[in-house]
Amino acid sequence: MANPLGVGWINQVSRLAKPTPAGRFGSFAVQVQRVNALEPKFEPMTDVELREHAHKLRLRARQGDSLNSLLPEAFALVRESAKRTIGQRQFDVQVMGGIAIHNKCIAELETGEGKTLVATMPTFLNALPGKGVYVVTVNDYLAKRDADWMGEVYRHLGMTVGCIQTGQPDGSRRAAYTSDITYGTSKEMGFDFLRDELKRLQLGDTHRKSFEQAFLGRGEHQESETPVQRTHYFAVVDEADSILIDEARTPLIIGANNQPTNEEATAYYGADQLAETLIRIKDYKYDPIERKAELTATGRRKVQSRAAHPSFVALTVDSVYEYVERALRAQIAYLRDRDYVVHDGEVIIVDEFTGRMMPGRQWQDGLHQAIQAKEAIEITLETITAARVTVQDFFKRFGKLAGMTGTATSDASELRRIYKVGVMKIPTNRTCGRVWLPDRVFSTEEEKFRAVAAQVVDWNQHGAPVLIGTRSIEKSEKLSALLAESGIEHQVLNAKNHEIEAQIVVQAGQKGRVTVATNMAGRGTDIKLGEGVAALGGLHVIGTERHESRRIDRQLAGRSARQGDPGLCQFFVSLDDEIVEAFGEKPAARIRKRNTGKGELTSIGWRRFFVTAQRKKEHQHFKDRKMLMHYEKQRAEMRKNMGLNPVLG
């Protein structure tokens, strides 16, 4: 089999053109050869000798030796440690991925190429100076799994490993952050940063320490009042596209409780009831892209006629308009079992990218309370901002940032401009065997789902395992009902049973297995094919809707054909899909009306239509992220000019 890193002498020549992609590839490939050359040196060593050599590297790093000069030895040590502890040896392409990460790149590796193992090498190397390395994952389960699993590799070489989990007390968090390597989610690490800023405010940054505090470590503050994080030295971000791009629009906010009065709570319920009587277009306009409603002159007159209602007795007319427009937004833009679920009398937000529930999170500016009124449940505390930071701003605070993902090249320019990181596509260890079938387009959602069910029945009769990705909990349950009607035994994985998602997804490659899941469910879990499944074409993946980002579609498709296995992917779409509204609400309505009842639309033009819609949505989200970055930058500058901390208040 040909070497995926190419011919050695060509790489030697290519590395002379360093600033170019070819030059960088050649340079990294030459470094891989240097790592390989050290393997015979470390293989005969005992475990004690390996640990002693790792300790010598640590001393050299702290004495000022450059990490680049230590890279071949550090990477070779980690490779040997991985072989002895977890029984896995990094392939040459994985070593190259690690080199790319060390050089402040997002390494794009196909799904199933072992990104978790790739990260161990640059993480160990950058932990040598003792300043702490954060490895950031998308959820608590993966953080704990990776810390336990890869922790064996690090501990074998004398490194300490910590893990941050939701609900952890400050003492445990502080201990985790003082470790050489700390695993956790962007959400938990971001909130720890905000809590630390609030603690510094309470302690007083300009507080002059007494002799006892400065030199004897004694002071009047309890340990729980002191910050938990160290300096932001280096972060390795797993699923970097999801965290650095998709979550970039989501600010992390610590709120201070602001108990609504009885009058305010009554106003939320009253506005919801009033909003239900308003007629779209005549009484209000709705912008599906901005997800905002605005009353027309007719609508305002209708609201004015009700402004004297007991529900609004304490409000001005302008305030009533705001309550009603917020209620309209809650009714139209935020759907139950898609954007949120109601569990034990609480509105719990569902993450739009992962399909997971996010307990404890709230929408801001009264929107959460408007949704509670819509669902006729108790209005809870509204929060006012005590501290906030965007995901963008948090990660820009790191002196060095890198990561890995399966999909990043399409957003390379944005990552380079915002985070100053490059993107490098790493070749696969084996040729990818994924087959992409053309999209099937239908005029209505009902026709689409029935076609999906029929296709699943056909594939299931041959014994091929099928994984079906949906965009919402509601859609996954609708499809589940159709499969049950067709007599197909299957499992449903959505935000309502996310506790066992990894155990369900890992079995999705077994013969005859049918799994219905939200698009991102079980991300990071390796799906291994059952016996005889490769001969049936591997795992068959169906997407039931085109996402607003091509990357999410590629991530779903990437659940199949891992590590050279065969696999198949096909998307089923309809004119009822939300993405069609990228062309505007009225044009979308005209297109749907014109093609109602036409069944499957086989023209290639319809496939191009959905590609165009997707690009429009991607461009809109890019503009939103750009606007958010501009707004946050202005806000930070304004607060700095006023002598205030930019993340507080």
CB 404 within 8 A of CB 101: yes
Q: For residues 359 and 536, which has the higher predicted lDDT (pLDDT)? A: 536
Is pLDDT above 60 for 587?
A: yes
Residue 183 has pLDDT above 60, yes or no: yes
* Band of residue 50 on the pLDDT scale cut at 50, 70, 90: very high
pTM of the predicted structure, to 2 decimals: 0.81
Q: What is the pLDDT of residue 181?
A: 98
pLDDT tens digits for 190-249?
A: 999 999 998 888 776 544 444 444 444 444 556 667 899 988 999 999 989 888 988 777
543 close to 469: Cβ distance less than 8 angstroms: yes
CA distance linking residue 462 with residue 536, whole number of Å: 8
Beta-bridge partner residues of 574 = 442
Q: What is the chain's mean pLDDT, rounded?
A: 86
Give pLDDT, residue 621.
83
3-class SS shares of the chain: helix, strand, coil, % to 5: 50, 15, 35
Contact (Cβ atoms closer than 8 angstroms) between residue 405 and residue 426: no
Residues of the chain with pLDDT > 90, as a percent, come to 53
Position 383 scores a pLDDT of 65
- Write the CB contacts of 344 (distance below 8 Å, at least 6 apart in sequence): none
Residue 597: both structure tokens together: 């009842």
Residue 162's pLDDT is 97
As a whole number of angstroms, the distance between CA 392 and CA 190 comes to 10
Q: Tell me: the pLDDT tens digits for 370-393?
A: 999 999 998 886 666 778 888 888
CA atoms of 402 and 244, how far apart (whole Å): 10
Query: 514 near 466, Cβ under 8 Å?
Result: yes
How many whole angstroms separate alpha carbon 178 and alpha carbon 132? Answer: 7
Bridge partners for 256 per DSSP: 384
Residue 343: per-residue pLDDT: 85
CB 493 within 8 A of CB 505: yes
Q: How far apart are CA 607 and CA 222, in angstroms?
A: 62
Phi, psi angle pair for 184, to nearest 5°:
180, 180
Torsions phi, psi of 10, nearest 5? -65, -40
Placement of tokens 């959905």 in the chain: 610
pLDDT score recorded for residue 259: 58
- The SS3 of residue 541 is strand
pLDDT score of 12: 56
For residue 112, pLDDT beyond 60: yes
Tell me which residue has tokens 């899941």: 517
User: What size, in residues, is the chain?
Assistant: 649
Count H helices and E strands in the chain, helices first: 25, 22
What is the four-CA torsion angle of 19, 25, 28, 32, rounded to 10 degrees?
-170
Weakest-pLDDT range from 394-403, 594-603, 635-644 = 635-644
Q: What is the mean pLDDT of residues 409-414?
A: 85
List Cβ neighbours of 294 (8 Å cut-off, separation of 6 or more): 284, 285, 286, 287, 325
Q: Are 582 and 620 in contact (CB under 8 A)?
A: yes
Q: 298 pLDDT band (50/70/90 cuts)?
A: very high
pLDDT band at 599 (very low <50, low <70, confident <90, very high): very high
